Amino acid sequence: MITPTIPVEHYLYLSVILFSIGAAGVLIRRNAIVVFMCIELMLNAANLALVTFARHHGDSAGHIYVFLVMAVAAAEVAVGLAIIIAVFRARNSVNVDELQDLHG
């Protein structure tokens, strides 16, 4: 393995940039699937920060947190995409602007 020498700040700045791009995507895009993908992007930016701090402190607990985030993301994607399919069946649309009322 290469011994890491790049300053921790660089990875954290990259993580902030990716998180911001994901947040902008969640706010701007109207397709529910793309909104979901942007949420995955934000989760991965958080993962990058966790891995960076794990390396910074020399403590592999950060890797455990990344593992847990991945498990949560997998469960979230399974249920979320199921909801998107159910909504598409009911409304014939995945545009989040058209989904404004609670009753099916």
Partner 1 sequence: MGLTPEIFLFALFSVVSIVSAILVVALPDPVKSAMSLIVSFFCLACLFLLQSAELIAVLEVLVYAGAIMVLFVFVIMLVEKRDEPVVRGTLAARVALPVKLGAVLVVAYGLFSAIRKAPLAGSAELPEGFGSVVSVGHEFFDNFLFHFEITSILLLAGIVGAVVVTKKRKAS
Chain positions 25 to 84 lying near partner 1, rule: CB under 8 A, are 25, 27-31, 33-34, 36-38, 40-41, 44, 47-48, 51-52, 54-61, 63-64, 66-68, 70-79, 81-84
Residue 67 Cα distances to 74, 75, 96, angstroms:
11, 13, 30
Given a contact cutoff of 8 angstroms between Cβ atoms, the answer to whether 91 and 98 are in contact is yes
Which CB atom, from 72 or from 99, has the smaller least distance to partner 1? 72
Q: How many CB atoms lie within 10 A of CB 22?
A: 21
Q: Round to whole Å and give the CA distance between 69 and 15.
A: 15
91 binds partner 1, rule: CB under 8 A: no
Coil vs helix vs strand at 5:
coil
88 binds partner 1 (CB under 8 A): yes
User: Applying CB under 8 A, what is the total number of residues that bind partner 1?
Assistant: 74
| Nearer of residues 33 and 101 to partner 1, judged by Cβ | 33
Does the protein bind partner 1 through residue 101 (CB under 8 A)?
no
What count of other Cβ atoms lies within 10 Å of the Cβ of residue 32? 18
Q: How far is the CB of 74 from partner 1 (least distance, A)?
A: 6
